[in-house]
Chains A and B, each alone.
Chain A
Amino acid sequence: MVRLIIQRILSSAITLALLTVFVFFAVELLPGDTCTAYLGRDAKGDRLEICRENMGLNDPALKRFATWASGALVGDFGVSPYRNKPVSEIVGWRMRNTIVLALSASLFGIPLAIFFGIIAGIRRDKPVDMVLSSTSILAMTVPEFVSATLLILVFSISLGWTSGVVTAPADAPIGVLLGSTILPTVALALVFAAHILRMVRSSVIDVMESEYVAMARLKGLPFRWILLRHVLPNSLLPAINVIGLTVAWLLGGVVVIESVFNFPGLGRLSVDAVADRDLPLTQCIVLILATGYIVTNLLTDLASLLLNPRLRTFRG
């Protein structure tokens, strides 16, 4: 099993390395560079030269990649020409805020999704399942900005329960931030919880139809026991990976959701960075969120490796 773990970690590392290469050279291959993007495509003359000199753009691409990648390893992503500040400084607090948002959405959404997924699975095609399934399909198909806007319309504007936009600054203490994070959390959780619910439901249904559950019934075991000992472990195991994928995928959702709620996180920042054509900042955010994806996936893969006896007892 140790072999499997090492292999899995190595493969994540390779993916990460490839990703770094892509993020750097994709921008490199585009017409123009950081300075033309910042100064406008037709910029020329001294300002452009000075900018290029400052940004070190006159060095060969490979050397700049080495500088950039090695800087990224220690958290140094260079300087944003537009904001004239180190990228790491701009990103710092916002990264924390996005993590807070993602974590609270996960902690709120995942248990609920699993719980209702199991209910829908064991009450397949019954009224409970119909309601849960159609709700989740609706939540999956409606765009995030639509559902988020509807949430504001209902809970903030009509009912006035909570404020619709986040007014806390990026460096607000967590307590203050959390107070205004309720709606963004719900909006984010809604989408991925729907995916997890569907997945858990179909996994529970598969297991309920399996020969070993039929056998457990023919052994005369009580239903509650069968559910806890036979159905749940086997249906949640494959779900772990999907939960990982979904949570990782939600990192893309933060871009839209943070924009709707004006939440001071990486997603909102990325929209600003793109609007300002601030390439170093955009690259940095892409890399951070993608790393988050890879790490989340790695962790869930390792978790399922440890929990699955088939893999755990594999002697490779």
Chain B
Amino acid sequence: MTASTAPLTRRRRMFPAWFRDVLSRPSGAIGLAIIVVHLAIALLAPMVVPYDFAAQDSKAMFADPSAQHWLGGDHLGRDVLTRTLMGGREAILVSTMATGVAVLWGGLFGIFLAFAGRFVDEASMRMVDALLAIPWILFVMLFVAGLGTGMGVLIPILGISYGLSIVRIVRAAALDVVTRDFILAARARGERRSVVIVHEMLPNVLDTLAVQAAMTWSWMLLGFSSLSFLGFGATPPTPDWGLMIADARSAMMVSPWPVLAPMIALSSLIIGINLLSDGLAKALGVDRMKKSAV
């Protein structure tokens, strides 16, 4: 990105420059690889797993890893490998969709606030601050207590909850861009407000939003799994990492694999997403540490 070293003409390539930059960094490349593997497993698992995820086999109860059951069996004699491979499907689906909700409403509302009048902005930010005072898990649980659980409840509620901090960050980023001279120049030129927002400001805010989206995705995954662990997320007998860990915990000393396998799967995906967002932040020049400290 430095002056004078870049080629004089921009050739069209398969990937945009920022994406190649992400891939050129170890964190970005490794992170993306981990995520791709996980997504592939989630998509293909139903076709390749050796057993039915709900099939109980009393002989396999607490079984150690063997040729039949590579990762052994759980307390009901279900195949741990099968359940681990399937266990990310709901978590990935919910966290991805909820991230979409969060980014969409958080991004749009944040940009809206940056341009809204003083009163609307001030009042809305007060409300956002108040809501951010509620730990996210309790925010979600308050609604689960009233509405019960299920994807239809969790996706919007998780999206709204995590979108609150995106509102804050995007608004701050937009306000920062708004004071820059090129926005003033556009106004002085007589550009319409919509042009100023879409043409001049948005490209500069999208960087921040992209990094924030990646981070939100990892928090969302963590959040959904925590809810599952507590019994408010996925419902049995759906194989789900959080739920599997909670179920197998009591028998941990007898057979650790039913706990360890989903732990490794979940943690590796979260670490992968974090690595990617780190690479993304570096490639786009967004200071991840400072933004996340808000």
Contacts and interface: CB of A to CB of B under 8 A. Distances in A.
Interface in B190-247: 218, 222, 225-226, 229-232, 242, 245-246
B240 to A, nearest CB: 13
A202 B289 contact: yes
A37 B146 contact: yes
Contact of B135 (A15, A30, A289): A289
B145 interface: yes
A153 B142 contact: no
A63 B148 CA distance: 27
A289 B138 contact: yes
B145 to A, nearest CB: 4
Interface string B246-270: 1001001100100100010011001
Contact of A282 (B142, B229, B246, B252): B142
Contacts of B129: 15
A112 interface: no
A146 interface: yes
B135 A249 contact: yes
Contacts of B138: 252, 255, 270, 285-286, 289-290
B274 interface: yes
Interface string A181-215: 00000000000000000110010000000000000
Contact of A270 (B141, B231, B246): B141
Contact of B271 (A141, A157, A259, A285): A141
Interface stretch (A19-27, A99-107, A227-235): A19-27
Contact of A15 (B126, B218, B271): B126
B135 A143 contact: no
A277 B145 CA distance: 5
A270 B230 CA distance: 11
Contacts of A19: 130-131, 133-134
Contact of B252 (A153, A256, A275): A153
Interface in A3-21: 14-16, 18-19
B43 interface: no
Contacts of A252: 135-138
B126 A14 contact: yes
Contacts of B146: 26-27, 30-32, 37, 277, 279
B131 A22 contact: yes
Contacts of B182: none
Interface residues of B, number: 44
Contacts of A198: 289
Contacts of B249: 149
B145 A282 contact: yes
B147 interface: yes
A130 interface: no
A176 interface: no
B252 A149 contact: yes
Interface residues on A, range: 35 or more
Contacts of B144: 274
Overall SS of chain A's interface: helix
A14 B128 CA distance: 12
Given A37-B145, A153-B256, A255-B230, A18 B293 contact: no
A251 interface: yes
Contact of B270 (A142, A145, A248): A142
Given A15-B126, A274-B232, A145 B135 contact: no
Contacts of A143: 222, 225-226, 229, 242, 266-267, 270
A208 B141 CA distance: 43
Contacts of B270: 141-143
Interface string A30-61: 11100001000000000000000000000000
B292 to A, nearest CB: 9
A209 to B, nearest CB: 14
A153 B136 CA distance: 28
Contacts of A294: 133
Interface in B125-182: 126-127, 129-131, 133-139, 141-148
A101 to B, nearest CB: 14
Contact of A146 (B232, B245, B253, B256): B245
Given A19-B130, A37-B146, A293 B135 contact: yes
Interface string A233-272: 0000000001001001101110110010000000000110
Nearest to B131: A22
A294 B139 CA distance: 15
B256 to A, nearest CB: 7
Contacts of A248: 133
A144 interface: yes
Given A18-B127, A142-B267, A283-B142, 4 more contacts: A15-B130, A143-B266, A146-B263, A274-B144
5 contacts: A23-B142, A26-B143, A30-B147, A141-B274, A294-B133
The 4 tightest CB contacts between A and B, nearest first, are A252-B135, A18-B130, A30-B146, A274-B145
